[in-house]
Amino acid sequence: MKRIAAMLLAAVLCCSLLIGCGQKEPENKDDAKDVLRVASQSDVKSLDPAQAVDVHSANIYNDVYETLLTLDENKKIVPKLAEYEQVDDVTYLFKLKQGIRFHNGEELKASDVVFTFRRGMETALLAFIYGTVDTVEATDDYTVKVVLTTPSAPFLAAMTAVAASIVNEKAVTEAGDSYGMHPIGTGPYQFVSWEQGVAVTLERYEDYWGEKPAYRQVVVRPIPEATNRTIELESGNVDIALDIPVTDLSRVEAAENLNLLRQVSNSIRYLGFNCEAAPFDDVRVRQAFAYAIDVAALTKAVNGDTCEVANAPFSPNIMYYKEDANAHELSLEKAKSLLEEAGYGDGMEVTILTDERKEYMDIATIVQSQLKELNVDVKIEVLEWATYLSRVYAGECQMYIIGWGCQTPNPDTVVYSPFHSSMKGNGGNMSFYDSAEADRLLELGRTTSDDAEREKIYYELQELLIHDRPWIYLWVTEVFVGASDTIEHMELDPVGTHCYYKVR
């Protein structure tokens, strides 16, 4: 697949459209230049990495926190807060850089790292990061020893994930249950405020140990209606608009004072089944729906020609993507036969759960239309984002639509949580999929270090998932970001967790 990254300009002056933005205007132009204003698709769920791994939350706390390790421009693992040493197959030493301070003035110490690890080890949501950790201890103020239960090929890559951000023990303990509203990190921006549904405000941390951000302040406003984000960008009320809809791409391209940035992402869109809820507890029903849904037509209807159909539960950017997988065989005859075998030859009624995003509602509407061919009556239930996530994680749905992305180039990060039986519900297995064979392959993928063998394992897993159909893969997403021409430089992150501190 082509990797696309471009800034496009055209020569048509955009109209100045003004809508109420609910934000106080800067007192003078100099103040305006010092504030980076961003329109995002949804409000955050929490600013605590142990409580939220969704892209909207991570997109904010990515600038507040830092990880032990990071990826350079070549996707190579390099030190961030710590140097590392692998002592043996299961033992790692992390040596912290000294003099780094949290936003509350506390110096980063090994005890904070130990606290972060132990907290993560008790959180099902973070099993994809800490699931193989056996013990963690501070051997001195700046050294942390981590011992794994078994050799883990993806462990170091997991340490680069934004959800592996290091928190301050004192801040978390003092804030208690409200910590997600008062985050404290070591990052280039410190938290100022979060008015739910209105804006999150960050401010440059003047004592930051690394290169300081260009902007004094970042204000991120949730604007769920896609076209309104575009209008806010055109009118100059925001400098950056995330998730520009496909229908507005040409509009942004045609504005001489705007740039369109785009990149193939690490995420896919998919239609998920609750494998423990009737009728989808029968694999034949899931297979029948997969045979009946024309994914290529659906993808084109929603995205035009901007996205490619996904053949795997992760993006081609991720290792071991099986491009030749036959993930989308279309056959109404097979679909009807399978439903007959399963006892649903006369049809059925099912419900798709989705959030308010137009893209997701469009998917649901098209699926509803296509499944009429099977005499399936699809009801669509639309919820706001936080409620929607809670319902899906709790298994209170039959079908759902969502995106899933990988924070590292390693597939374990993106497949263990949603498909291992131990991860059902809040662990990330929102389909409540339970397969002994999938568990075996997922565990082998974690512990096998030979690259050729790992490729075979993940290819076999992908074939199994096509047969079992906990998901119907839809498309590989692209990141579309609109930016004012006052923005000289912005690096797009394929996960969608863009670094505002790198914006110039």
444-467: average pLDDT: 94
Q: Examine the pLDDT at 24 and tell me if it is beyond 90.
A: no
CA 357-361-363 angle, to 5 degrees, is 120
242-266: average pLDDT: 94
Per-position b or e across 101-137, b if 16+ CB within 10 A of its CB: ebbeeeebbbebbbbbbbbbbebbbbbbbbbbbeebe
pLDDT digits over 330-380, tens only? Answer: 999 999 999 999 999 999 999 999 998 889 999 999 999 999 999 999 999
pLDDT digits over 44-62, tens only? Answer: 999 999 998 888 899 899 9
283-312: average pLDDT: 95
Read off the pLDDT band of 8 (50, 70, 90): very low
pLDDT for 55 equals: 85
Taking a C-beta distance cutoff of 8 angstroms, is the pair 291, 331 a contact? yes
pLDDT for 159 equals: 96
pLDDT for 32 equals: 52
pLDDT for 3 equals: 33
Mean pLDDT for the chain overall: 91
Q: Examine the pLDDT at 22 and tell me if it is beyond 60.
A: no
Read off the pLDDT band of 497 (50, 70, 90): confident
**157: which 2 tokens?**
């890559």
Q: With CA atoms as reference, report the closest residue to 139 among 110, 118, 97.
A: 110
Give the whole-number percent of the chain exceeding pLDDT 90.
78
Q: With CA atoms as reference, report the closest residue to 257 among 230, 224, 238, 234.
A: 234
Residue 391 buriedness (CB in 10 A; 0-12 / 13-18 / 19+):
middle
Other CB atoms within 10 A of residue 257 CB: 13
Taking a C-beta distance cutoff of 8 angstroms, is the pair 415, 426 a contact? no
24-40: average pLDDT: 68
Q: Examine the pLDDT at 84 and tell me if it is beyond 90.
A: yes
pLDDT digits over 101-145, tens only? Answer: 999 999 999 999 999 999 999 998 888 899 899 999 999 999 999
Q: Examine the pLDDT at 7 and tell me if it is beyond 70.
A: no
- Among 12-16, 90-94, 222-226, 468-472, the minimum mean pLDDT is found in 12-16
Q: Examine the pLDDT at 73 and tell me if it is beyond 90.
A: no
Q: Examine the pLDDT at 13 and tell me if it is beyond 60.
A: no
pLDDT for 28 equals: 43
Residue 481 buriedness (CB in 10 A; 0-12 / 13-18 / 19+):
buried
Read off the pLDDT band of 74 (50, 70, 90): confident
189-208: average pLDDT: 97
Q: Which helix (H) or strand (E) holds 146?
A: strand 143-148
Q: Where are the beta strands (DSSP E) in 238-357?
A: 240-242, 258-273, 308-309, 348-355
Taking a C-beta distance cutoff of 8 angstroms, is the pair 407, 413 a contact? yes
pTM over 0.85: no
pLDDT digits over 140-172, tens only? Answer: 999 999 999 999 988 999 999 999 999 999 999
pLDDT for 25 equals: 42
pLDDT for 353 equals: 97
Taking a C-beta distance cutoff of 8 angstroms, is the pair 247, 231 a contact? no
281-290: average pLDDT: 98
pLDDT for 114 equals: 98
